[in-house]
Amino acid sequence: SQQGEEDPQALSIQEGENATMNCSYKTSINNLQWYRQNSGRGLVHLILIRSNEREKHSGRLRVTLDTSKKSSSLLITASRAADTASYFCATANNAGNMLTFGGGTRLMVKP
């Protein structure tokens, strides 16, 4: 069953702008992960944030986690056309061994 809800469902921006995607979830989690999927391809793991962390960075990616609000955000800075893809959050249960995916945000970066 789908645990996370993402918004927006679709986002279109110009190259160089920042893109922010949000994810909300319902139950307590061990960690939250973000994945990227190019059209019709497999998902690629981007970044993981643990339930006791509030912010994490990886290159142009910044992830925040607010467990009190049960929400997370993914920020992609200085976006590139190659960032065009669908982005999914996935929450891990308390045991840390099962993932449930959110609905996804379709990001289009126009050159």
Partner 1 sequence: DTEVTQTPKHLVMGMTNKKSLKCEQHMGHRAMYWYKQKAKKPPELMFVYSYEKLSINESVPSRFSPECPNSSLLNLHLHALQPEDSALYLCASSQVGLGNRVFSGANVLTFGAGSRLTVL
**Chain contacts with partner 1 (rule: CB under 8 A):** 2, 30-31, 33, 35, 40-45, 48, 50-51, 88, 90, 92, 95-104, 106
**Of 42 and 59, CB closest to partner 1:** 42
Q: Minimum Å distance from CB 90 to partner 1?
A: 8
111 preceded by a cis bond (ω within 30 of 0): no
Cα 107 from Cα 38, distance rounded (Å):
10
**Of 18 and 58, CB closest to partner 1:** 58
Cα 101 from Cα 63, distance rounded (Å):
16
Q: Answer yes or no: are the C-beta atoms of 13 and 109 closer than 8 Å.
A: yes
Q: Minimum Å distance from CB 30 to partner 1?
A: 6
Q: Minimum Å distance from CB 89 to partner 1?
A: 9
Q: How far apart are the first and last CA of the chain?
A: 36
Q: Minimum Å distance from CB 62 to partner 1?
A: 18
**Of 6 and 83, CB closest to partner 1:** 6
- Other beta carbons within 10 angstroms of residue 1's beta carbon come to 4
